[in-house]
């Protein structure tokens, strides 16, 4: 039994949820999101709560149960509060700035890296070494943060690179004489 899947999702005030067959559409103050449930789960919307249960006792139905419930909860969280990730640039000369619909990154390469900001994502640089990525879709926000981090992952000796703000970098000891 899925402990996460058993919990019903409460739809808060100001959020409008519509279930049309297998399609869930959620509208809130930040925007609108939708998803389609897989055939292995049964979805009901009643009394301001979304309940999800498995169809049958197959392994796939039980494994999809908790995941589909979490994806639906992420939709509601996204349209009500939104998601954000903070990246930090660590290294001499490492800088970031937002120029229109692009993020300009100076990461020690011979050229500047220009990253195009996808639709639905908001990127801010409060200072030269901090990037704040925000949006209503949790998957998109995480994907953009991962793609920016991919340009220069933090290395274990000095910690230089692009890291998440809450990330711990395991440090290694350098060469000894």
pLDDT digits (tens, 9 = 90+) for 60-93: 998 899 999 999 999 999 999 999 999 999 999 9
d(C-alpha 95, C-alpha 130), whole Å: 8
- Are residues 15 and 41 part of one domain? yes
Instruction: Let me know if residue 155 belongs to a domain.
Output: yes
- Are residues 32 and 96 part of one domain? no
- Are residues 101 and 61 part of one domain? no
Instruction: Let me know if residue 20 belongs to a domain.
Output: yes
Residue 2 confidence (pLDDT) above 80: no
- pLDDT-derived band at 96 (thresholds 50, 70, 90) equals very high
- pLDDT-derived band at 3 (thresholds 50, 70, 90) equals confident
State the residue range of the domain holding 153: 83-164
**Tens-digit pLDDT profile for residues 108-142:** 999 999 999 999 999 999 999 999 999 999 999 99
- Are residues 118 and 57 part of one domain? no
Q: What value does the mean pLDDT of the chain take?
A: 93
- Are residues 159 and 89 part of one domain? yes
Last residue of a domain, one of 80, 112, 134: 80
pTM over 0.75: yes
Give the pLDDT score at 4.
Answer: 87
In sequence order, what are the residues at sequence separation of 6 or more whose Cβ sits closer than 8 angstroms to the Cβ of residue 14?
28, 29, 80
d(C-alpha 88, C-alpha 109), whole Å: 17
- Are residues 118 and 87 part of one domain? yes
Q: What is the CATH number of the domain that holds 38?
A: 3.90.930.12
Residue 176 confidence (pLDDT) above 90: no
Number of domains present in the structure of the chain: 2
Last residue of a domain, one of 62, 80, 98: 80
> How many Å from the N-terminal Cα to the C-terminal Cα in the chain?
57
Give the pLDDT score at 1.
Answer: 60
- Are residues 37 and 95 part of one domain? no
d(C-alpha 98, C-alpha 102), whole Å: 6
Last residue of a domain, one of 80, 102, 130: 80
Give the pLDDT score at 167.
Answer: 92
- Are residues 89 and 53 part of one domain? no
Give the pLDDT score at 135.
Answer: 96
């Amino acid at each position: 039994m899925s402990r996460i899947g058993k919990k019903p999702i409460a739809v808060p005030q100001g959020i409008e949820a519509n279930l049309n067959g297998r399609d869930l559409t959620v509208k809130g103050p930040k925007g609108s999101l939708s998803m389609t449930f897989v055939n292995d789960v049964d979805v009901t919307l009643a009394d301001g709560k979304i309940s999800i249960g498995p169809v049958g006792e197959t392994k796939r139905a039980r494994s999809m149960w908790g995941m589909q419930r979490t994806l639906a909860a992420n939709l509601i969280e996204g349209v009500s509060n939104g998601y954000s990730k903070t990246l930090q640039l660590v290294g001499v000369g490492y800088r970031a700035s937002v120029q229109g619909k692009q993020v300009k990154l100076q990461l020690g390469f011979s050229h500047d890296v220009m990253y195009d900001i996808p639709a639905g994502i908001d990127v801010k640089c409060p200072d030269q070494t901090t990037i704040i990525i925000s949006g209503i879709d949790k998957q998109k926000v995480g994907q953009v943060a991962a793609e920016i981090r991919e340009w220069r992952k933090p290395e274990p000796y000095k910690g230089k690179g692009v890291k998440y703000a809450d990330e711990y970098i395991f440090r290694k000891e350098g060469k000894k004489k």
